[in-house]
Structure 1
Amino acid sequence: MNVPRRALLGAGAALAAAPLWPSAAEAAAPFRNDLPPAWYRFRIGEFEATVISDGRLPLGEPGPAFPASPPAEITALMQSNFLPVNSANLEQNALIVNTGRHLVLFDTGMGDSMGPASQMFGPTTGRLLRNMRAAGIEPAQIDMVILTHAHCDHCWALVDAQGNRNFPNAQVALSETDLRYWTDPANKTGPAFMTAFIDGATKNLNAYRDRLVMVRDGAEVVPGIQAISAPGHTLGHTMYAVTSGNRTVVNTGDLAHHQVLLLRRPLWEFSFDTDPRMSAQTRARALERFAGERTQLLSYHFSWPGLGHVAKEQEGYAWIPTAMDLTALE
């Protein structure tokens, strides 16, 4: 088919004259400016696991969170990993494991139990319950809540603003050391956040006083879930190995808060640690073991959904995220 050159030129001129924006009848849809429910489901052997987001926890400028670290080195590490140098953001990745016998939630996020204090890190937290429901899990189905430790972003959603249990059929497991420390008013000393942290832990944990289970290092909390003492961030901070068949995932809690700063520099100290030096030593030992054994990890504060491995890299470690497999349950 031969098209005359004059016809092609005419068509080109008509296109050039046409407006490049839509008419009023073809106006674009408004921006939504909201986020979809955040949950991710996968298998640990025969167990079904779901990561639920409680939302992003912004620390702001990273310097104050790492007060003993060289500011120029913080900036260089953030820049080299394509992260904003003036804003350290932490995720909150709560793990739910269905063992077939138990439905276990690890940590609860910020919640709203402490009123305005529940938004001390801003309005982007406190989304655990709605995201659980979006994933098809009702809070009343949870029969065990296991706490890695009793900080605000890990236990303040045990109850609602009125003090009612959010998980009415659950026991709550944590270390006795953390229970005693974070419900003792004598520890309202030091940093300003300590008063709110202790008041919040006391309110939330007291609601389950008749349902508390004390975890012991090396012992199973429920079949397939073993406690691993990892003190420092809090004195009773505990990790948990979830094992089914020949597969294990270790929920590291707050062993490390940032996938760059505290992996590349594992001996750096973090301002919210109860014992910063102990925390750094615990972190260094655990990361060495996890890298050598190629253990899959779930980190509460690393980039969503927090699943991955650590690999030795120079004086520190690199975070290798696990690719999300959307066919994993088929």
Structure 2
Amino acid sequence: MDRRSLFQASAGLAMLSLPGLSRPASAGAPFRNDVPPAWYRFRHGEFEATVVSDGRLPLGQPEPAFPASPPAEIKALLNSNFLPPDSATLEQNVLVINTGRQLVLFDTGMGDSMGADGRMFGPGTGRMLANLRRAGIEPEQIDLVVLSHAHCDHCWALVNEAGERNFPNAQVAISEADLRYWTDSNNKRGPAFMTSFIDGATKNLAPYRDRMVMVRDGAEVVPGITAIAAPGHTVGHTCYAITSDGRTLVYTADLAHHHVLLLQRPAWEFSFDTDPKQSAQTRSRMLQRLVSDRHSVLSYHFPWPGLGHVVAAGEAYAWLPEPMDLTARS
């Protein structure tokens, strides 16, 4: 027997003698099929930021969400970015900022306040409160809920199904334009979703009427957090600049829902926009501003946890996610 054959035979005998290898291996562990807690914490200057997930929001076939866009171009863009061409999914990244003096929550996710209507996008939403607690934050600790706008996936967790406040000690900051529009039953016209959106906003905002803060473009909501009017998606849609120790993070909310379709094609219209053309104009202007200022961005609907930068890509834009830092912090 030559040296190679002898070595192979010896290795085989050694393997057979190992404990547990005298019988065929089997994969006996069952699939878990559960969802892990989803929260991510990082420092922003002197502030501490935590992102908690409200779950994934499936749009299904993307074409109805972008009704004025060529279907073939939608599919081509998704394919070229390794995304399924027949299904669009949005994240829901809820931001919490601890300024050292106040705990500020940006938007609330879908919640369960509207029962079956609240599950219009499937059962995978409404996870914000559970993930908030898993991140070590109790709803009673929230001092201020800052609403970018009053759509279902941004304000329907202000109260529970019984109409009781989920954030009993919090004020609510919102633009006066959005407050008026989404609590006016005369606006129940146009798309079918308008009725449930207005009913849901009315139910969720009413219990906080005595503790409302009206935000104004360019004004601070609390020290370090400044409102930026970005109308179009809704009449009073607002982004927020969060500045600490010389660093600015811009919470863009629903400025752009999809990190590929609405950055590579910023002029495209989105079906849930109140004024699609104004929304596209606002998006293009704000994206250029984000590129020029080089600020960090936290997007509500971009891939988890929504943190990254907008960069120029030819005549359009691209999304560069920021690597997640999983090291311990003191």
**TM-score interval for Structure 1 and Structure 2 normalised by the shorter chain:** over 0.9
What secondary structure, in the 3-state scheme, does the structure 1 residue paired with 2:266 have?
coil
Q: Structure 1 stretch 3-12 or stretch 127-136: which is displaced more?
A: 3-12
Question: Residue 252 in 1 paired to residue 255 in 2?
Answer: no
What secondary structure, in the 3-state scheme, does the structure 1 residue paired with 2:205 have?
helix
| Cα 1:274–1:5 shift into 2, 3 Å | closer
What secondary structure, in the 3-state scheme, does the structure 2 residue paired with 1:208 have?
helix
Whole-Å separation in 2 of the counterparts to 1:4 and 1:269: 68
What's the counterpart of residue 233 of structure 2?
233
What is the number of equivalent residue pairs in this alignment?
325
What's the counterpart of residue 92 of structure 1?
92
| Cα 1:175–1:12 shift into 2, 3 Å | same
What secondary structure, in the 3-state scheme, does the structure 1 residue paired with 2:86 have?
coil
What secondary structure, in the 3-state scheme, does the structure 2 residue paired with 1:239 have?
strand
Unmatched segments (≥5 aa) in structure 2: none
Letter in 2 for 1:178: D
What's the counterpart of residue 202 of structure 1?
202
Q: CA deviation at 1:74?
A: 0.5
| Cα 1:15–1:267 shift into 2, 3 Å | same
What's the counterpart of residue 291 of structure 2?
291
What's the counterpart of residue 124 of structure 1?
124
Percent identity over paired residues? 71
Deviation digits for residues 205-234 of structure 1 (CA, Å, limit 9, x no counterpart): 001111111000011111110000000000
Deviation digits for residues 148-176 of structure 1 (CA, Å, limit 9, x no counterpart): 00000000000001111000000000000
Whole-Å separation in 1 of the counterparts to 2:295 and 2:197: 32
Whole-Å separation in 2 of the counterparts to 1:308 and 1:8: 52
Structure 1 vs Structure 2 CA RMSD: 1.9
What's the counterpart of residue 136 of structure 1?
136
Whole-Å separation in 2 of the counterparts to 1:95 and 1:31: 31
| Cα 1:11–1:70 shift into 2, 3 Å | same
Deviation digits for residues 39-89 of structure 1 (CA, Å, limit 9, x no counterpart): 010111100000010000000010000000011110110001000000100
Output the TM-score relative to the length of structure 1: 0.94
What's the counterpart of residue 72 of structure 2?
72
Deviation digits for residues 172-224 of structure 1 (CA, Å, limit 9, x no counterpart): 00000000000000000000000000000000000111111100001111111
What's the counterpart of residue 172 of structure 1?
172
What secondary structure, in the 3-state scheme, does the structure 2 residue paired with 1:291 have?
helix
Q: Is 1:43–1:328's contact at 8 Å kept on the other side of the alignment?
A: no
| Cα 1:10–1:178 shift into 2, 3 Å | same
Q: CA deviation at 1:270?
A: 0.2
Q: CA deviation at 1:325?
A: 1.1
